[in-house]
Amino acid sequence: MPASRGAEAAHPAVLEFADRLAAAPEAAPAPAPAAQLQLITFRLDAEEFGIPIESVREVTRVGDITRVPRSPRHVRGVTNLRGRILPVLEIRSRLGLEPLDPGPRARIVVVEVQGRLVGLLVDAVAQVQKVAADRVVPPPDEVRSAHTDYLTGVVHLDRRLIILLDLERVLGAGGAPSPAVSAP
């Protein structure tokens, strides 16, 4: 039934996730006097990235993504988010990774930045992670690559390293100064 294709929202995993999002802000201020960050973390290759939960509107499965002719290379395309046309960014190429066709665990993280809704295509969503704000440190040399521009810092947790993304930067270039347009 083709009409149901757009209805990813009904998926139980997403609903559960939405509940968690809804519950999160209430839980946050009560027990934690020290400033806390809540992150949604996701994977790209072996790395774990985090973005502040306040920016995330929802996480959905990857439906049909329509390519937009002559758009910048980091734009994967547009998709139908319940009747709304959502741009989907290939965040991998933004961070210097090779683009990848989405696998079964791939998700679109829908973020709101400066009033705009944008989808980020990620390999897999890991979890919601609370961290104390003072554990965020500047990016160490091993991740200080050419793409440090898009990072605000890193958090070490046990053996994990979460890289914090600067969403405004990731989305900011919006295509304006980006010369990387496909086809001459």
Partner 1 sequence: MADENAFAELIHEYVAECLPLAERVSDAFLEIERAWHRGGRDAQAIAELKGTLHTLKGNSAMMGLAPMQRLAHLLEDLCALALADEGARGLELAGLLVEGSGLLVDLVRGAAEPGGAAAEAVGGFAGRASEYLAAHPAAPAAALRLDRRRSDRRAEGDAGTIRVDFRRLDTLLEIFGEAMIEQSALPEVHRRLAARVGASPELADLDRVVVALGSTMKRLESALMQTRLLPISTVFGRFNRLVRDLARGEQKQVRLETEGGEMLLDKSILDRLGEPLVHLVTNAVVHGIEREDERLRRGKPPEATVTLRASALADRAVVSISDDGRGLDAARILARAAALGMDLPEGDASAAYAVIFAPGFSTADAVSQVAGRGVGLDAAASAIHALGGAIDVASEPGRGVTFTLTLPLTLAIVRSLIVEVDRERYAVPLSHVAETVRLEPGAVHEINRQGVVMWRGAAIHVADGGEILGSAPERVGGRKYCVVLSAGPRRRAVLVDRLVGHQDVVVKRLDATVGRPDVVSGATILGDGRVACILDAAGIVTQRAVA
Instruction: Point out which residues bind partner 1 (CB under 8 A).
Output: 1-3, 5-6, 63-64, 66-72, 75, 77-80, 83-85, 87, 89, 116-118, 171, 174-176, 178, 181-184
Considering the complex, state which of residue 66 and residue 145 has its C-beta at the smaller distance from partner 1: 66
Considering the complex, state which of residue 94 and residue 107 has its C-beta at the smaller distance from partner 1: 94
Considering the complex, state which of residue 80 and residue 129 has its C-beta at the smaller distance from partner 1: 80
Smallest distance, partner 1 to C-beta of residue 55, A: 15
Smallest distance, partner 1 to C-beta of residue 60, A: 13
Smallest distance, partner 1 to C-beta of residue 159, A: 35
Terminal C-alpha separation, the chain? 39
Considering the complex, state which of residue 32 and residue 85 has its C-beta at the smaller distance from partner 1: 85
CA dihedral 56, 60, 61, 63 (to 10 degrees): -110
Smallest distance, partner 1 to C-beta of residue 177, A: 11
Q: In what order do the strands lie in the sheet with 151-157?
A: 124-132, 36-44, 47-52, 160-165, 151-157, 136-137
Q: Is 168 helix (H, G, I), strand (E, B) or coil?
A: helix
Question: Which DSSP string corresponds to 20-46?
Answer: HHHHHHHHTTTT--S-EEEEEEEEETT
Comparing CA positions, the residue from 63, 85, 87 lying closest to residue 77 is: 87
